Amino acid sequence: MRIVMLGGPGAGKGTQAQRLSQQFQIPWLSTGDILRHEIVRQSQLGQQVQPYLEQGQLVPDELMIAFIRQRLLQPDTAQGWILDGYPRTAFQAEELDFLLDELEQRLSWAVLLEVEESILMQRSLARSRLDDEPTLIERRIQALFEQTLPMLDYYEQRGRLLRINGSLTPDQVEQQLLTRLNASL
């Protein structure tokens, strides 16, 4: 199973990705969580991406594409993965497909967790990470509309997009997801 999870800040990408990763016994890769960790470590990557996360902006495509490329070449991802927060632009989506072609692998589904903006804001404000502050959450929502949602056509045209109502409880969202994924196996 190879799944990308799409949705705004607080849509539940991480929550559901973690559950799917346990269900299918495949790694869960959250680009946002990895980047935050690199910032705490002040690694070279962390220092490069820090200004973007601190402003609620997307990290440049080149950096993310190179990062995902080296990550998906690691042996633990050979049998599948759940990508949480990647791709986020049409360019990243195309590059992911090129990489998968090269690896002779195929994306199973792009899952979009649909949640209205006021709930995104409410859920994100309920926690306190580096970038969970109202103006930054707003910027992340703006990035979702301007840079990520236009990418949906890419998956829709390929018949790979699963739209899931993300505003229900975590258990209900998981149930919908598993039903749709199992129906497609």
Within 10 angstroms of residue 38's Cβ, the number of other Cβ atoms is 19
Please report, for residues 9, 107, 123, the alpha-carbon distance to residue 116 in angstroms, rounded to integers and kept in the order given. 11, 27, 11
Q: How far apart are CA 129 and CA 122, in angstroms?
A: 14
Number of residues that bind ligand AP5 (CB under 6 A): 33
What is the footprint of ligand AP5 within residues 65-84 (CB under 6 A)? none
Of 12, 39, 112, 151, the residue at the interface with ligand AP5 (CB under 6 A) is: 12
19 binds ligand AP5 (CB under 6 A): no
Please report, for residues 70, 75, 95, 109, the alpha-carbon distance to residue 11 in angstroms, rounded to integers and kept in the order given. 27, 29, 24, 17
14 binds Mg ion (CB under 5 A): yes
Identify the residue whose tokens are 């309920």.
126
What is the footprint of Mg ion within residues 17-76 (CB under 5 A)? 32
Residues that bind Mg ion in the complex, under the rule CB under 5 A: 14, 32
Residues that bind ligand AP5 in the complex, under the rule CB under 6 A: 7, 9-15, 31-33, 35, 52-53, 56-59, 64, 85-88, 92, 123-124, 126-127, 131, 140, 169-170, 173
